[in-house]
Amino acid sequence: MDADVSAREVIGEYLAAMERGDREAAVVLYAEDVVMHVPGRSSFAGERRGRDAVLAYLRAAMERAPGGIEVELIDVLEGERDRVALLLRETLHGARGDVVLRRANVYTVRDGAIVEVWIFEHDQYAVDELVGEA
């Protein structure tokens, strides 16, 4: 990864890859030792360490929306150096109808790679219900 690339540029690449459905290009932007903090009380909640653990979480989350997931970028907040926050509206098309989630994902980028992700849900109760029992 390129250390001269800004956090905003890395997250811009990540978003572009996700928008075009190129998950492989998005995934390589995660550092091998990335840490993702998943909020809530469900079995999905907790800390995911390493690219494989993060990918397993993302795959499991996508299984909750067999009809697909639409992501709308509401805003981008950029820190001074290595942090970018995305305000998102995600629509999950599930077997029992659509669920709309509003969230903020805060990314820390170092050496051109995403090294940490914090997820903040607008309605954590709805997310916990969606993903299963506590």
Q: Write out pLDDT tens, residues 65-103.
A: 788 888 899 999 998 789 999 999 988 887 777 889 899
Q: Specify if 101 maps to a domain.
A: yes
Q: Specify if 64 maps to a domain.
A: yes
Distance CA 97, CA 112 (A): 38
Q: How many domains does the chain have?
A: 1
Q: Looking at residues 36-56, what average pLDDT do you find?
A: 90
User: Domain containing 77: what range?
Assistant: 7-131
Q: Specify if 2 maps to a domain.
A: no
